[in-house]
Amino acid sequence: MSNVEINKVLAQMRTLASGLEQNQGPAETGKPDFSTVMKQAIEKVNEQQSTTESLVGAFEAGSSDASLSEVMIAMQKASVSFQAMTEVRNRLIDAYHEVMNMPI
């Protein structure tokens, strides 16, 4: 996965986080809750994959509203977003392990 793709996904996540800052978050800090941001990002990836699956199904069924190029682009978007979420998960796990291995 290229840095450009990762940067695009990170920009989308930052946009999502800034939208959360305006709409909700803990009252004492005004910042969005990390779990809320992660949950919404995961839901967005899931929604994108579901949309792609329905588009692929429509294309396979011969529907005229789903072209091959749209299907391929949707599949790549879903793939990139899933890979980015996997990378975020991996980095979170690495950070957790680093914190757990710190001497007290």
**What does each of the 104 residues of the chain score in pLDDT, given as a tens digit?**
566 777 777 777 777 777 665 655 444 567 788 888 889 999 999 999 999 999 999 999 988 888 899 999 999 999 999 999 999 999 999 999 999 998 87
Contact 26, 36 (CB under 8 A): no
Q: Helix, strand or coil for residue 63? A: coil
Q: Which two tokens stand for residue 66?
A: 């789903």
Report pTM: 0.63
The per-residue pLDDT for 22 is 61
What pLDDT sits at residue 103?
A: 85
Any idea where the domains of the chain sit in the sequence? 3-100
Q: What is the pLDDT of residue 28?
A: 54
Nearest to 15 by CA among 35, 41, 36, 39: 41
